[in-house]
């Protein structure tokens, strides 16, 4: 059912695009697109949100980090779409 699908996405959200993530060692298109989107958006949110242990990173630095990790940690196409949304003020 729906919860199984949510579980599949959550489980895959720790996979890295280059296959170096966990728990299943999935890579690229093997990772569900929903998980690739969640992973990228979660990282952007984490970088741009103040935490108890550090201040928020500015948007430009966060975008630079997403771009630097495109193709390794993140799906390059997902990064491109998220960056476009950020740069056009839609996020």
Give the pLDDT confidence of 44-65 residue by residue, as tens digits: 999 999 999 999 999 999 999 9
Cβ–Cβ contacts within 10 Å for residue 61, how many? 12
How much is the pLDDT for 70?
98
Rg over CA atoms, the chain: 14
Condensed to tens digits (0 to 9), the pLDDT of residues 68-88 reads: 999 999 999 999 999 999 999
Alpha helices in 2-74 (DSSP H): 2-12, 33-47, 59-69
How much is the pLDDT for 91?
87
User: For residue 75, is it left (φ>0), alpha (ψ between -120 and 50) or beta?
Assistant: beta
Query: Model pTM?
Result: 0.93
Cβ–Cβ contacts within 10 Å for residue 75, how many? 22
Query: In this structure, are residues 18 and 27 in contact, taking their beta carbons and an 8 Å threshold?
Result: yes
């Amino acid at each position: 059912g729906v919860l199984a699908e949510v579980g599949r996405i959550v489980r895959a959200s720790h996979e890295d695009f280059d296959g170096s993530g966990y728990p299943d060692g999935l890579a690229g298109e093997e990772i569900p697109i929903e998980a690739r989107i969640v992973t990228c958006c979660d990282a952007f949110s984490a970088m741009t949100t103040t935490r108890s242990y550090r201040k928020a990173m500015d948007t430009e630095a966060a975008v630079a980090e997403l771009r630097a990790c495109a193709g390794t940690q993140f799906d390059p196409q997902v990064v491109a779409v998220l960056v476009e949304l950020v740069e056009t003020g839609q996020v």
